Amino acid sequence: MHALANFNWAGVIEFLPALGIGLYYTLLVSVIGIGIGFVIGAFVGLGRISKIKPLYWLATVYVELIRGTPVLVQAIWIYFALPLIINYTLPSLVAGIIVIALNSGAYIAEIVRGAVQSVDKGQMEAGRSLGMGKHTTMLNVIWPQAFRRMIPPLGNQFIISIKDTSLLSVILVPELIFQGRMIAASHFNAVEIYTTVAVFYLVITLTLSKVLSIVEKRLDR
């Protein structure tokens, strides 16, 4: 405790605006990325249970490829390697959103697949017996029940994606870790800055965990 007291914790206040910018980009990339990831995951998840073999195999390859490689490797490949293929340099922020979208999409796909398959098969049969088509039954009967079951794991995935954004500093996305590194490198206050950054992440994740807990309790009712 005495050693910690020797550091200039009050001086961190000076750098809060810069860290606030990092927090903004952390949340921006997370929200947009996981929003796109949910759309990807919904389609891929349904592809994972499709009886159309090409769709099933494409969805499976995507999920296994993304889940089988680290987020850091995906970020480096998309930012540094992909431009050599498409002959276009992606802005770091766009690349970061793509990384989070593709990564979260693979995990959300499994959440969607599991939730849809957990709905009693009799629900589909009941919908068809009422004259509804397969797609209509899926949209109006199966999906609402499955989506309710997805909410807790989706919340957990959101928390994971927020923490994953810390790896995007390697591709120059100006999120919390990037801002912290810039400040610590120029002012030699690594202990104070990185501790503050850790507190930022802790507050975000604890807040989301609390919100998720409230939502789960309401769903149980």
Using CA atoms, how far apart are residues 214 and 53, in angstroms rounded to an integer? Answer: 40
Which pLDDT band holds residue 4 (cuts at 50, 70, 90)?
Answer: low
| 165 three-state secondary structure | helix
Question: Is the separation of the CB atoms in 89 and 171 below 8 Å?
Answer: no
- What's the confidence (pLDDT) of residue 70? 96
**Tokens linked to 152:** 């807790």
For the stretch 93-141, pLDDT in tens is: 999 999 999 999 999 999 999 998 888 877 777 777 777 777 787 777 8
Average pLDDT over residues 20-47: 96
Which pLDDT band holds residue 7 (cuts at 50, 70, 90)?
Answer: confident
- What's the confidence (pLDDT) of residue 221? 64
For the stretch 158-204, pLDDT in tens is: 999 999 999 999 999 999 999 999 999 998 889 999 999 999 999 99
Domains located in the chain, CATH noted: 2-220 (1.10.3720.10)
Block residue for tokens 């969805």: 59
pLDDT, mean over the chain: 90
Using CA atoms, how far apart are residues 105 and 100, in angstroms rounded to an integer? Answer: 8
**Tokens linked to 208:** 């989301």
